[in-house]
């Protein structure tokens, strides 16, 4: 999806609506719990609609309708802050609800963007969100101006009060009149220097209901007469269902039906649904245990022989062949390397990873004669809407997607896109009852769309001063569609756009097919290649006799924002290369989503090889930060996310399916492994608006691997680190 075009006409039209966006004349369990608000908390219904984004009630409470999904990144809070900034209302008078995707569809994409991905809510969408607030403010002023017979420019709008000379009124008093006003021209939005609210650390609005069990997640949806389904799809994607014996389980208590699910290919040859079978019962546990007990036979097909090992072998064969050149500058880097005497070569690999959101993939769907209702933890309500309409064979205008809290997002559309939404729709369509489909954790890991594996070979030739004169990289990554792009993930991210000024560079890529559906995964592309590029940078720097941090500073001369970030990292981290054996510091820097993020990790490794990541200092330049509190949290979380995969993660494919089934075989980072994290913002400001939900992750694995090298003398070129022997006996030579 591209950045929305800002059309000022969009907010000129208006109407007076009786209710809020969520109230659809249908029983929505605990909808109010999902509509969190600041204090005081009042019902989100009612009020006068100034535009699609906000209503003002008679008490002056402003209800802001948020079209984005909340997965803990602070969307409810940041959208509310941007509108409150322009509208100029007291923060305690704000409450938020989720906007209605059906209205968005019916009113020609009224909210412009209803998808939440790519760390883009603030960086790309702040202009139209802020304009919604600015427009409402000017119309309130215009209403007062007309009533008082003064010019609009004579009126001040501040904290919910309109003032002109000795005339005074509240927003609430003028809301009805403002709703009927059309502005000749929409106002511009405020510039960063003019902010009074943005830039201040604000507690997230969604925190309170997440501390007492009232926050409504999709998996918590309960509807009258609802049934539950457990599903199993072919463990080898695209394999076929040969048979299942429902008779063996149909007399178990509570069991209602078994329903076959047929594969539906989606866009770009990925799957919207795989072949499988669902067992429906009156509780999920009864459905799940019946499914477990039901004999099922599969035809795995030709992909039943695929493995991580065979894909890795294929990758290594491809690495010996010329690939598609996707980046080059200067002379042919390969030729220079071939005739150079000081050459460094290394090969890096990263395996599949899975999202493993804490909320297992699920959806609840109700198909009735006249409408379809969907609750799913999707990052894109419009996709869920389209899929449900398609599977039910209904007009999308009759489909209502109810936005709920997401128990983790992390890309790939969230835990409610594509397959599970279709499954629930299909089952409800056949049974004509509301159904909740929950994937067991085992099904979630087996059937999620995975982060693609990647293998990259680098070589560099050094010049007289020890700095590289030529740099070559060749990558192989496996995707379901054998293209260099999966959603927002690029095969070359953080390789092709590496900032270092090497005079002669060449990057080639191979894209190979895997039968495993792949998808974006928090900081897509950058999360893999950041590790590879930034580890190899250390190899090159050290081979040339350079301090790794000084090398990066030297190689980004003239790039002011990179210099700012790296110099700040130097100052804040105290990076040094002379710690006693068994301890080490490492640095790395990666750009993604328009934000530069640098990290310095401090590790200790026992002589027997037990790793502790003590501390990670992160420095980011996102240009601007609207909520430093949420931004800091996102950076802390990103550190954990990438460290988890790099240290303890990694999926392994064997006989066409993953051997990892649950958190015992796909561990996540635990609390006792989490390093101390220090986050610093080094903001270059200006026209730069970078994202913050993802970029702090990618530099972490290479910073840790580089630190491990200084601690042990061992260079780690693949993840997870847990598979490497990090012991450092007396016989080992320290460093090169």
Q: How far is the CB of 174 from another protein (least distance, A)?
A: 35
Using the rule CB under 8 A, is 215 a contact of another protein?
yes
Pattern 629-658, another protein, x by CB under 8 A: x---x--xxxxxx--x--------------
Which sign does the torsion angle of CA 688, 207, 365, 401 carry? negative
| Residue whose CB is less far from another protein, 498 or 613 | 613
**Does 285 contact another protein by CB under 8 A?**
yes
Nearer to another protein by C-beta: 46 or 649? 649
440 binds another protein (CB under 8 A): yes
Residues 354-383 that bind another protein (CB under 8 A): 356-360
Binds another protein (CB under 8 A): choice among 22, 71, 318, 526: 71
Binding to another protein by residue 451, rule CB under 8 A? no
Region binding another protein by CB under 8 A among candidate stretches 230-238, 297-305, 474-482, 672-680? 672-680
For the bound state, the minimum distance from the C-beta of residue 379 to another protein, rounded and expressed in Å, comes to 12
Judged on CB neighbours under 10 Å (0-12, 13-18, 19+), 574 is exposed
Q: Judged by CB under 8 A, which stretch of 79-87, 174-182, 601-609, 674-682 contacts another protein?
A: 674-682
Alpha-carbon distance of 387 to 381, in angstroms, equals 10
Which is nearer to another protein, 292 or 554 (by Cβ)?
292
CB of 411 to another protein, least distance (A): 12
Closest to another protein by CB, 40 vs 686, is 40
Name which position in 27, 158, 168, 222 contacts another protein (CB under 8 A).
222
Is there binding between residue 59 and another protein (CB under 8 A)?
Answer: no
Select from 238, 244, 284, 490 the one that contacts another protein (CB under 8 A): 284
Residue closer to another protein by CB (options 370, 664) is: 664
Rule CB under 8 A: say whether 32 interacts with another protein: no
Question: Does position 78 bind another protein by CB under 8 A?
Answer: no
207 vs 590: CA distance, rounded Å:
30
CB of 702 closer than 8 Å to CB of 597: no
CA–CA separation, 31 and 299 (whole Å): 43
Residue from 18, 59, 207, 247 touching another protein (CB under 8 A): that is 207
Examine residue 405 and tell whether it contacts another protein (CB under 8 A): yes
CA angle 430, 115, 596 (to 5 degrees): 140
Among 388, 435, 537, 677, binds another protein (CB under 8 A): 677
d(CA 454, CA 456): 7
Give the pairing type, strands 657-658 and 653-654. Answer: antiparallel
Smaller CB distance to another protein: residue 253 or 265? Answer: 253
- Long-range contacts of the stretch 542-551 (C-beta < 8 A, 24+): 542/735, 542/736, 543/342, 543/344, 543/462, 543/466, 543/736, 544/342, 544/462, 544/465, 544/466, 544/467, 544/468, 545/466, 546/466, 546/467, 547/577, 548/577, 548/586, 548/587, 548/706, 549/575, 549/587, 551/467
**Phi-psi region at 206: left, alpha or beta (left = phi > 0; alpha = psi -120 to 50):** alpha
455 contacts another protein (rule: CB under 8 A): no
**Rounded Cα gap, residues 362 and 55, in angstroms:** 32
203 forms part of the interface with another protein (CB under 8 A): yes
Q: If we measure between CA atoms, which residue out of 405, 420, 537 comes closest to residue 97? A: 405
With CB under 8 A as the contact rule, which of the stretches 177-185, 219-227, 490-498, 537-545 interacts with another protein? 219-227
Find out whether 450 and 376 touch, Cβ atoms under 8 Å: no
Beta strands in 434-521 (DSSP E): 435-438, 454-462, 468-479, 485-486, 489-490, 504-513
CB 364 within 8 A of CB 532: no
Residues near another protein (CB under 8 A) are: 71-73, 203-204, 206-215, 217, 219-220, 222, 228, 253, 283-286, 356-360, 405-410, 438, 440-441, 629, 633, 636-641, 644, 662-664, 668-672, 674, 676-677
């Amino acid at each position: 999806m591209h950045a929305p075009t800002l059309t000022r006409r969009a907010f000129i039209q208006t109407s007076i609506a009786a209710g809020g966006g969520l109230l659809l004349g249908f029983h929505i369990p605990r909808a109010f719990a999902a509509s969190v608000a600041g204090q005081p908390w009042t019902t989100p219904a009612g009020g006068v609609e100034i535009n699609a984004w906000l209503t003002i009630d008679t008490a002056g409470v402003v209800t802001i309708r948020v079209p984005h999904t909340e997965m803990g990144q602070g969307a409810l809070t940041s959208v509310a802050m941007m509108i409150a900034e322009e509208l100029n209302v007291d923060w305690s008078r704000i409450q938020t609800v989720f906007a209605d995707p059906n209205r968005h569809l019916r009113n020609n994409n009224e909210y412009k963007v209803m998808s939440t991905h790519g760390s883009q809510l603030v960086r790309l969408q702040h202009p139209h969100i802020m304009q919604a607030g600015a427009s409402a403010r000017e119309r309130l002023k215009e209403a007062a101006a007309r009533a008082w017979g003064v010019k609009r420019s004579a009126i001040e709008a501040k904290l919910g009060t309109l003032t002109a000379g000795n005339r005074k009124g509240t927003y609430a008093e003028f809301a009805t009149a403002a709703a009927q006003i059309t502005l000749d021209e929409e106002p511009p939005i405020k510039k960063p220097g003019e902010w009074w609210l943005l830039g201040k650390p604000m507690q997230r609005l969604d925190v309170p209901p997440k501390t007492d069990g009232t926050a409504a997640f999709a998996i918590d949806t309960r509807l009258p007469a609802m049934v539950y389904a457990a599903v199993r799809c072919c463990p080898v994607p695209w394999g076929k269902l040969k048979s299942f014996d429902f008779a063996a389980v149909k007399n178990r208590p509570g069991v209602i039906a078994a329903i076959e699910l047929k594969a539906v290919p989606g866009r770009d040859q990925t799957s919207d649904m795989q072949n499988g079978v669902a067992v429906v019962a009156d509780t999920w546990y009864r459905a799940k245990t019946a499914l477990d007990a039901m004999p099922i036979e599969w035809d795995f097909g030709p992909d039943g022989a695929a493995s991580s090992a065979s894909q890795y072998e294929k990758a290594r064969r491809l690495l010996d062949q010329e690939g598609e050149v996707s980046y080059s500058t200067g002379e042919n880097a390969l030729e220079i390397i071939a005739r150079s005497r000081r050459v460094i070569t290394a090969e890096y690999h990263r395996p599949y990873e899975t999202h493993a959101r804490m909320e297992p993939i699920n959806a609840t769907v109700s198909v009735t004669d006249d409408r379809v209702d969907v609750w799913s933890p999707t990052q894109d309500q419009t996709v869920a809407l389209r899929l449900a309409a398609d599977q039910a064979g209904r007009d999308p205008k009759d489909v209502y997607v109810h936005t709920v809290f997401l128990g983790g997002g992390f890309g790939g559309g969230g835990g409610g896109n594509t397959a599970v939404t279709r499954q629930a729709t299909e089952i409800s369509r056949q049974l004509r009852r509301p159904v909740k489909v929950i994937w067991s954790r085992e099904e979630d890991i087996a059937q999620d769309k995975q982060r693609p594996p990647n293998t990259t070979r680098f070589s560099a030739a050094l010049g007289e001063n020890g700095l590289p004169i030529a740099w070559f990289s060749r990558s192989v990554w496996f995707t379901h569609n054998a293209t260099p792009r999966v959603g927002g993930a690029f095969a070359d991210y953080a390789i092709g756009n590496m900032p270092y000024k090497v005079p002669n560079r060449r990057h080639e890529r191979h894209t190979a097919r895997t039968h495993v559906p792949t998808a974006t995964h928090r900081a897509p592309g950058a999360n893999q290649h950041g590790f590879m590029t930034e580890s190899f940078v250390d190899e090159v720097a050290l081979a040339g006799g350079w301090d790794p941090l000084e090398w990066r500073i030297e190689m980004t001369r003239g790039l002011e924002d990179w210099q700012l970030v790296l110099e700040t990292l130097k100052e804040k981290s105290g990076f040094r290369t002379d710690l006693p054996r068994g301890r080490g510091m490492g640095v790395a820097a990666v750009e993604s989503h328009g934000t530069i993020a640098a990290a310095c990790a401090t590790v200790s490794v026992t002589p027997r090889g037990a790793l502790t990541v003590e501390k990670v200092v992160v420095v980011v330049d996102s240009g601007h930060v609207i909520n430093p509190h949420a931004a800091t949290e996102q950076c802390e979380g990103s550190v954990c996310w990438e460290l988890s995969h790099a240290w303890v993660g990694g999926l392994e494919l064997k006989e066409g399916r993953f051997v990892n089934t649950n958190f015992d075989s796909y561990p996540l980072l635990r609390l006792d492994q989490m390093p101390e994290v220090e986050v610093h913002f080094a903001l270059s400001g200006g026209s730069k608006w970078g994202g913050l939900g993802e970029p702090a992750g990618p530099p972490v694995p290479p910073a840790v691997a580089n630190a491990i090298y200084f601690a042990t003398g061992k260079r780690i070129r693949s993840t997870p680190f847990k598979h490497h022997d990090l012991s450092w006996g007396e016989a080992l030579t320290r460093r090169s």
